[in-house]
Each structure stands twice: as C-alpha cells, then as structure tokens.
Amino acid sequence: MQEQDKAGGVRFAEVDSDRDGQRVDNFLSARLRGLPRSLVYRMIRTGQVRINGKRCKPSTRLNTGDTVRIPPAPRSSGEDASVPESARAAVRAAILYEDDDLLVVDKPAGMAVHAGSGLAWGVIDALRQDRPGQFLELVHRLDRETSGCLLLARNGAELKRLGAAFRAGEVDKFYLCLLDGRLPQDLLEVDAPLARIDGGQRRLVEVAAAGKPALTRFRRLEALGESTYAEAELLTGRTHQIRVHAAHLGMPLAGDDKYSDRDALRKWRRRGLRRIFLHAHRMVVPRADGTTLAFDAPLPDDLRGVLDELHAPGRRGEPVTAA
C-alpha cells in the first residue's frame, strides 16, 4: 500500500488488491489502530475522509487503485494495542480452524472482537500481536457478550469473497439461545424488519415497518419450564437480530441487558447466568472451489451450567425433539 504524507498530518493511501472490496471504516480502523470506532465514524461522516476526493459513508467499499484521504488522528491511534498475555493465550487456545485463507476462533464471552467504545483491544488485536506483519481482518462481528464462531480472513481475496458470501446470504449461521418464555411450536420464523433507534448512547434496534428486512428461524430444542432452549438460524444479518426478534415474540433472551427488564435479569442472575445466553455454535462457509466448510463451537461451561440448573429437581424441563 502506497502512502503519501501531506502538510498538516493528512495522509493519502492508495488501495492495493488485498483491500479491494473492504469497507472504508474497516480500512481506516486497520490504519488507525487504537482509535475508537466512534471517532472513525465521525471522521467519515464529517467529510474528513475522502475516496478519490469525494465524500463517502462508513459502508462504502473500496476498489483497487482508490486513493483514500486519511485525516490527522491522535498520536496514540498509530500504536498497536498492548494485549495481556493471558488474553492472547485464551485466543490462541480458542482457534477452531486455520488454513492459508481463513481463521476461525471460538470467541470467548466478554471479549470484544476489536478495540473501540472505551476498549483498548479485542480478539483481532490479540491475533495481530501474536502474528506481526500477517494479514488478518474480521469478516463479520459478534457482540462482546456473545460467544462462538468468529471468522477472520488471512488475505484480501478471501476477505472480499467471504464478505460477498455473507451479504448474499450464502453463509449458514446457527446460534444456541435460551428464550425467556415458551416457544409455542417446534419451528417458528420471525419475519420482521429492523431499524436502529436514533438518540441515546446505547445502540438499540427495534422492529419497524420502514426497517431493513430481517428473518430469523427459531427451532425448539427443549422446553424448560417457562423457558425454551432453542437454536436460532440467521437468514439475514442485522444488528441484534436474534435479540430483537426474540423480544418481539415476547420472550427476550435470558440475560439480555438491552431488550429485557430488570426483574428478568435479576431472575436469571439468581440462576447463575451472568451474561446473555447466546452462542454462535455452528457456521457453514462456502469455499472458492464450490465445497463448504462447517465449524462447530461447543456450548460454553457457563451456559451449560444454566441448563443444568434448569434441569435440577423442581425445575425439570420437558425434552422436545428439534424440528
């Protein structure tokens, strides 16, 4: 990648083939490591970032040969995050699969996927610190408290190909979740458009007629008293989709601090749940040669413990065969 410095600290970077098709916000985050993503978005939206001299949006995708104007940023943004060895070891131990094109991590709950929003580092920072000079980019994201399969690309061609596969709905994504309520049937699809809620510091989403199409398929695995252990299949990929669709059904995810009430949170904490019950347990990814790769991440011990508690005497559920 060619860069040219100008007066006032402005830089101009030419996009090489490895970054072809990458979103400009992700491109900038890789160049300005340590800078909160909120500031990256602000620089883009205020016109400080330009592509070939023109304003852009965070979601604008780059092409080989584009010239990106990168404005001055705080000095600390150019420094790599210092990730504790304990966290780096945890990420190394969580690698499920790796080849020349991609890397799959069983992301631990409580660990962000990248720095930002007051966090100095995330999974990708831990991997980059372990593998200096290697190409590593997130293909998608998981919320901080969500555990499970996380895909990273190891070269630009794979980043572009997998990004297109996600957008086209060609990647199968399955999550294990606990619904705070009884799913009325073995298989239930929620087809409800989603839109971001403006205002406030908390990023929230709601069902709205003017929102983007969103489709989630819930499969009942087991009825557990007044709750349901289920698999959620994402047929689209909207922010907080499973969480909002579950709440839309009137049965928010157990431990969800954004879309359930305080009484429900206290109830689940008494049962040993300290975070949202949501785990990306299976992903099926198309390869360039027409084959597929499937990745499975087992349910973590903390979530398994909650199910065991619900099966305890006096709380025993009713096993149900998955649809």
Domains 85-163 and 170-319 share a fold: yes
Of 143, 257, 301, 308, the active-site residue reads 143
Q: What is the pLDDT of residue 259?
A: 95
Q: CA triplet 183, 186, 190: central angle to 5 degrees?
A: 65
Q: Of 178, 136, 138, nearest to 299 (Cα)? A: 178
User: Domain 170-319 is classified in which CATH homologous superfamily?
Assistant: Pseudouridine synthase (3.30.2350.10)
Residue 16 annotated in active site = no
Q: What is the pLDDT of residue 120?
A: 76
Q: Say which CATH class 2-76 falls into.
A: alpha beta
CATH classification of 85-163 is 3.40.1390.10, yes or no? no
Q: Of 309, 234, 255, nearest to 245 (Cα)? A: 234
Any idea where the domains of the chain sit in the sequence? 2-76, 85-163, 170-319
Along the 323 residues of the chain, how does pLDDT read in single tens digits? 455 555 457 889 998 887 888 899 888 887 887 677 778 888 998 999 999 999 999 889 998 889 999 988 764 444 556 889 999 999 999 999 999 999 999 999 999 888 766 677 889 999 999 998 899 999 999 999 999 999 999 998 899 899 899 989 999 999 999 999 999 999 999 999 999 887 555 678 999 999 999 999 999 999 999 999 999 999 999 999 999 999 999 999 999 999 999 999 999 999 999 999 999 999 999 998 999 999 999 999 999 999 999 987 655 444 444 43
Q: What is the pLDDT of residue 201?
A: 52
Q: What is the pLDDT of residue 36?
A: 75
Rounded to an integer, what distance in angstroms lies between the CA atom of residue 229 and that of residue 46? 45
Rounded to an integer, what distance in angstroms lies between the CA atom of residue 31 and that of residue 26? 9
Q: Of 243, 214, 219, 241, nearest to 232 (Cα)? A: 219
Q: Are 103 and 154 contacting, i.e. CB atoms less than 8 angstroms apart?
A: yes
Q: What is the pLDDT of residue 77?
A: 45
Rounded to an integer, what distance in angstroms lies between the CA atom of residue 126 and that of residue 139? 16
